[in-house]
């Protein structure tokens, strides 16, 4: 059974710091991995998608890496801003088929202080 | 692109009534839609998966007669909470997959249901 773990559960940093969020999964047979952001009381915003054949994806100040063999992904946020404060969720998808479900981690709650 | 909307964004109802929540993919055809439930400070719990034109597949422990899901078209899925009770109060989020970015899953803004 696939389990996804995110460390740390919460993180508070001063503005401007570079930071790394970690995600690990127990079964390396994944189809892809997605990182999401969730603001309080809102839905999820897709940040980055990494297919199993890829090693990393970048979007602006965000960079996500994937090491499938070791069951790990990291989300790197450069030059953090107060607007980055949110809960960050990673999720893995096992199958290609239409029913392939996302398995979510518990999230990392990020607070960036001005 | 890849926008998913939900309606209503919040609803308050009396115990025993039924509530319908709509989920629409606005700019792509969603071959698969998902419904999640989220409790405060917790991650998302998948309730069911539906493919257009097929019956939904419910996760273990989710009552299909309580939570009716209809995926009538490639852009619309509905979740009906029948005979709602206070314990059904939660944040419900839909998600969709399909179109050109078929590998990626996109989420709606969520619906806050409060049952009095």
Which residue ranges of chain A lie beneath pLDDT 70?
A: 96-99
d(C-alpha B78, C-alpha B21), whole Å? 6
* Residue A94: predicted pLDDT: 83
What length does chain A have? 114
According to DSSP, the residues that pair with A12 across neighbouring strands are A111
Cα–Cα separations (whole angstroms), residue A16 to A83, A99, B60: 11, 41, 44
* Residue A99: predicted pLDDT: 63
Query: Which two tokens mark B83?
Result: 């005979």
CB B115 within 8 A of CB B89: yes
- SS3 breakdown of chain A: % helix, strand, coil, rounded to 5? 5, 55, 40
- A104: closest CA of chain B, how far (Å): 7
**What are the pLDDT digits (tens) for A6-17?**
999 999 999 999
Nearest residue of chain A to residue B93 (CA atoms) = A43
* Residue B102: predicted pLDDT: 83
Q: What is the 3-state secondary structure (H, E, C) of B54-75?
A: CCCEECCCCCCCCEEEEEEECC
* Residue A97: predicted pLDDT: 64
d(C-alpha B84, C-alpha B8), whole Å? 16
Mean pLDDT of the region B91-114: 92
The SS3 assignment for B86 reads helix
- CB–CB of A32 and B103 under 8 A? yes
- CB–CB of A101 and B46 under 8 A? yes
* Residue A83: predicted pLDDT: 97
d(C-alpha B70, C-alpha A109), whole Å? 34
Nearest residue of chain B to residue A98 (CA atoms) = B32
User: Is B115 or B99 the better-scoring residue by pLDDT?
Assistant: B115
**pLDDT-based confidence at B1, cuts 50/70/90?**
low
Give the H or E element holding residue A6: strand A4-7
Residue A71 is classified by DSSP as: T
* Residue A71: predicted pLDDT: 96
**What are the pLDDT digits (tens) for B39-72?**
988 889 999 998 887 889 999 999 999 999 998 8
Give the H or E element holding residue B79: strand B76-81
* Residue B109: predicted pLDDT: 96
């Amino acid at each position: 059974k696939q389990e996804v773990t995110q460390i740390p559960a919460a993180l508070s940093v001063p503005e401007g710091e570079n930071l790394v969020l970690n995600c690990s999964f127990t079964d390396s047979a994944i189809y892809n991995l997605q990182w999401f952001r969730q603001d309080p009381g809102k839905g999820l915003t897709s940040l980055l998608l990494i297919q199993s054949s890829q090693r990393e994806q970048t979007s602006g100040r965000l960079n996500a890496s994937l090491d499938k063999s070791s069951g790990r992904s990291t989300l790197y946020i450069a030059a953090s801003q107060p607007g980055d404060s949110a809960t960050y969720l990673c999720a893995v998808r096992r199958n290609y088929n239409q029913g392939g479900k996302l398995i979510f981690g518990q999230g990392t709650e990020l607070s960036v202080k001005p | 692109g890849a926008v998913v909307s939900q309606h209503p964004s919040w609803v308050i109802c009396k115990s025993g009534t039924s509530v319908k929540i709509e989920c629409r993919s606005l700019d792509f055809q969603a071959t698969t839609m998902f419904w999640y439930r989220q409790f405060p400070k917790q991650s998302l719990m998948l309730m069911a998966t539906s493919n257009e034109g097929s019956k939904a597949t419910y996760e273990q422990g989710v009552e299909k007669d309580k939570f009716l899901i209809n995926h009538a078209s490639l852009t619309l899925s509905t979740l009906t909470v029948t005979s709602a009770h206070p314990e059904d109060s939660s944040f419900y989020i839909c998600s969709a997959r399909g179109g050109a970015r078929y590998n990626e899953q996109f989420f709606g803004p969520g619906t806050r249901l409060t049952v009095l």
